[in-house]
Amino acid sequence: RKDGKPGRKHALAGPRSLTWTMDPHILIDAFRDAKLIGQDEGLRLVERPTRQGHGWAVTVDLPATRKAADVIQRRDALASALAVDEVQLLIERVRGSGGHAGRVALWVADADPYDTPPARTPLVDAARWDVWRPVPFGRDARDRPVTLPLVWTSLLVGAIPRQGKTFATRLAAAGMILDPHTRLYVADFKAGKDWDAAQTVAHRFLSGDEPDHVLTLRDWLTELVGEVQSRYRRMRTLDDATCPESKITPTMARDTALDMPITALVIDEVQVPLEDRTPITAGGRKLTAGEHLGELLTWLAKKAPAAGVILILATQRPDSKTIPSGLRAVLGSRFALRVMDWRDSNIILGEQMNTRGHDASRLLAAHKGVGILRPDGEADTPGDELATTVRTYYMAGQDWRTICQRGHALREAEGTLTGHATGNEPVPRIDHATAATAISTRSDTAAGTAGLPEPLASVADYLAEDLHPEHGRTFIPTAELLDALNAEPTAFARHMSDHGCTPVRRRIPDDDGTPRQVRGYRTTDIQTAIHTHQPDHSDDRETDDDEE
């Protein structure tokens, strides 16, 4: 009590219900309660609440200066205000000619959209598949199909055990298997039965987790480095009608005379070889097998997709120590099933993705096969969003074996069955010296990045040979780094400034040759920051201070 006024009166009312679908005024109150708009602000109704599927949909315009990105980020608060579980609330920014930064489309499900059996993959009923078409991957909360492009990119799948990681990886591989003009390298470091059926279609196959298996993978990667270099050399000799750019085309990939089929390297439990500590020598350097594999995979992820060689990597330990930051930075497509915390989610999906409303650690344990997809390229993701929550299609063990058998028959009919699938796997064409030369510049540049703070370590790994003082680049646009590292602009600029890298403006030629002014960083500043923050030089600096 205060100044004679009565104290607070407690009252219990009944449970809140989803009555806003019938009354837009309650929707405005929900936005105010979630602190997404002010008490004196309102919403403009673009499309009235309508019934769509198993839920309600409505499109609204936010007040001036309010952004859809903030609504997406505070989805939990809005779900609470609407009295629904956050898995029932789907928020998308309306883009394109019919949208703007303040237009939001909402869809609220009547019940948990993932509390039903998953749909069976349509690939089971496909006689064959064209790998140049995105692969059917799953369906979103509104039961809309989601596809995954595979050509010209690479894929990282991460999750804690028993969340559907291998099932999701096999979905991506199934599209490759049903195209007889593809070549598969399959390495199963789980050493189980999950990938055994792929032996009938794989050009190379291994299953095991011993050091010998790791060294076999090293030979494969060395062979693929040489294959990629050979493809680029042959592309230069082709006429413009056959090869208009330095990229593989469908015609080139299917021309058996050129021998440039789309090639996929699938590695399940990739953390096993990357953590291997077997001592080896590569290019005159002594290092562990895991470190060398990380360098080879990073080189392939950067150089190989345009030549038709893609990586599909899966791991149950998505931490910064297991997957090198330089490798993560160049894997275009990411799929995160449930992980332990937001840091692991960001390692898979990209920096600051949790602040944009995409956090795989908040997925429910009961939602097997549900994850957040951040695709690269022209994926069929509803709403044109940066990332989409997807429930992957279900592919039972028998369906997987059926697809592999069908892929084997297709390859026999086309005459493209090779390697392990024929029972006569060829010895890898290994040229360790050439592979060491190819990655030597990157190795020299990134040798000391292990002790660097983020995002400086990721920048150093991404730029690699571009930081070479003689033949490297002198200026890097900020937009390029943000796109490559999937970084949040404000936090990235702040951290780079803390490390001594201040952005400057430069005029660079556009695609048509017209100069335009952009913000970016001088590579000399980045080199200085790397030198300053390396542990060896930190010790030297302390010693110099002591001597003074």
Amino acid letter for position 463: L
Query: Taking residues 278-298, what's their average pLDDT?
Result: 88
Is 162 marked as a binding-site residue? yes
Dihedrals φ, ψ of 2, to 5°? -145, 130
pLDDT at 542 over 80: no
Is 163 marked as a binding-site residue? yes
Question: For residue 455, is the peptide bond before it cis, meaning its omega torsion is within 30 degrees of 0?
Answer: yes
- CA-to-CA separations, 261 to 152, 252, 257, in angstroms, rounded: 13, 8, 10
pLDDT at 538 over 60: no
Residue 3 or residue 312, greater confidence? 312
pLDDT at 16 over 70: no
Amino acid letter for position 368: K
**Entry field: residues in the chain:** 548
Q: Token digits for 491?
A: 């936090």
Which pLDDT value is given to residue 78? 92
Residue 301 or residue 449, greater confidence? 301
Which pLDDT value is given to residue 251? 94
Which pLDDT value is given to residue 548? 41
- CA-to-CA separations, 190 to 112, 163, 165, 187, 250, in angstroms, rounded: 33, 15, 12, 9, 33
The count of other CB atoms within 10 Å of the CB of residue 307 is: 24
Nearest to 507 by CA among 539, 475, 465, 473: 475
Nearest to 172 by CA among 268, 86, 250: 268
Query: Taking residues 483-505, what's their average pLDDT?
Result: 85
Nearest to 33 by CA among 25, 21, 23: 25
Which pLDDT value is given to residue 426? 80
pLDDT digits (tens, 9 = 90+) for 49-89: 888 888 889 999 999 889 998 998 898 999 998 888 888 99
Q: Which of 6-20, 162-176, 527-541 has the highest mean pLDDT?
A: 162-176
Which pLDDT value is given to residue 447? 46
* Mean of the per-residue pLDDT values of the chain: 85
The count of other CB atoms within 10 Å of the CB of residue 437 is: 13
Nearest to 443 by CA among 272, 276, 285, 279: 285
pLDDT digits (tens, 9 = 90+) for 345-356: 888 988 778 877
Is 161 marked as a binding-site residue? yes
Sign of CA dihedral 373, 377, 382, 385: positive
Under a CB-based contact definition with an 8 Å cutoff, are residues 487 and 521 in contact? no
pLDDT at 344 over 60: yes
Which pLDDT value is given to residue 125? 95
Could you tell me the pLDDT band of residue 23, with boundaries at 50, 70 and 90?
low
Could you tell me the pLDDT band of residue 441, with boundaries at 50, 70 and 90?
very low
H, E, C per residue of 493-516: HHHHHHCCCCCEEEEEECCCCCEE
Query: Taking residues 274-280, what's their average pLDDT?
Result: 92
* Beta-ladder partners of 315: 158
Which pLDDT value is given to residue 15? 55
Query: Taking residues 268-287, what's their average pLDDT?
Result: 89
> pTM for the whole thing?
0.76
